[in-house]
Chains A and B, each alone.
Chain A
Amino acid sequence: QKEVEQNSGPLSVPEGAIASLNCTYSDRGSQSFFWYRQYSGKSPELIMSIYSNGDKEDGRFTAQLNKASQYVSLLIRDSQPSDSATYLCAVNEGGADGLTFGKGTHLIIQP
């Protein structure tokens, strides 16, 4: 059974600070890792993808992957109130495989 674990939160962060979101996964065959943002009642929106160990930066977002520890994280710098949402970690074995999602972390950015 493939599992993706996330702290459900809520995680409360002051505006302008760094938000740190974490995710662990059980399937060692996982090759692709994604962070999606989901506003209440909306669909998942792709934020970041990462496929190899290390860091990947895109604007205010940095994804970090450690396959040995089966750990993925997302850092959001200069957090804005509009970043308040649920952040979903999703993994698959690559290719056309279905994604296995975590339950998501509810992030609240306090103005």
Chain B
Amino acid sequence: EPEVTQTPSHQVTQMGQEVILRCVPISNHLYFYWYRQILGQKVEFLVSFYNNEISEKSEIFDDQFSVERPDGSNFTLKIRSTKLEDSAMYFCASSRVGQGNQPQHFGDGTRLSIL
């Protein structure tokens, strides 16, 4: 069964550095998402992306964050000037279409640790 692939599985970075988290969505999916889950807390929506532009973003997704689809398969989340509170699991998800009701399928996540 096709799945969303995320790399790396664990990223350790010094505070203030930039990180790029990578995702390969399911091949026939057109909508892509990033979520984060701080340890012990709920999963929080960050951003959705369709047709090479942001569809929706949450209050969390400020100027520190950006997303990009650099080629036909990858979808990336860039976090600039990382802070201790950015430590979390980051999940990429994709769905087949945005019209109508389609479930979002999640990747295994990247654990981001800011030191």
Judging by beta carbons under 8 Å apart, are B108 and A42 in contact?
yes
Scan A16-36; emit 1 where CB is below 8 A from any B CB, else 0: 000000000000000110101
For B45, list chain A residues within 8 Å (CB): 98-101
> Which residue of A32, A43, A49 contacts B91 across the interface (Cβ within 8 Å)?
A43
> Which residue of A49, A95, A98, A102 contacts B103 across the interface (Cβ within 8 Å)?
A49
Shortest distance from the beta carbon of B95 to any chain A beta carbon, whole Å: 7
Shortest distance from the beta carbon of A49 to any chain B beta carbon, whole Å: 5
B26-85 at interface with A (beta carbon < 8 Å): 31, 33, 35, 41-48, 50, 55-56, 58
Scan A33-73; emit 1 where CB is below 8 A from any B CB, else 0: 01010000011111001010000000000000000000000
Complexed CA–CA distance, A99 and B56 (Å): 11
B contact face: mostly helix, strand, loop, or mixed: strand
Judging by beta carbons under 8 Å apart, are B108 and A98 in contact?
no
| Chain B residues within 8 Å of chain A by Cβ, number | 29
Measured CB to CB, the nearest residue on chain A to B111 is A41
For B98, list chain A residues within 8 Å (CB): 95-96
| Chain A residues within 8 Å of chain B by Cβ, number | 24
For B109, list chain A residues within 8 Å (CB): 42-43
Measured CB to CB, the nearest residue on chain B to A36 is B106
Measured CB to CB, the nearest residue on chain B to A34 is B103
Complexed CA–CA distance, A105 and B101 (Å): 24
Q: Which residues of A contact B (CB under 8 A)?
A: 31-32, 34, 36, 42-46, 49, 51, 88, 90, 94-104
Q: Which residues of B contact A (CB under 8 A)?
A: 31, 33, 35, 41-48, 50, 55-56, 58, 89, 91, 95, 98-101, 103-109
Beyond A43-B108, A104-B42, 14 additional contacts (C-beta under 8 Å) are A31-B101, A32-B103, A36-B106, A43-B89, A46-B104, A96-B48, A96-B95, A98-B35, A98-B45, A98-B47, A101-B42, A101-B44, A102-B42, A103-B41
Could you list some 18 contacts between A and B, CB below 8 A? A34-B104, A42-B108, A43-B108, A44-B43, A45-B106, A46-B106, A49-B101, A88-B43, A96-B31, A96-B95, A97-B56, A98-B48, A99-B33, A99-B43, A99-B45, A100-B45, A101-B45, A102-B42
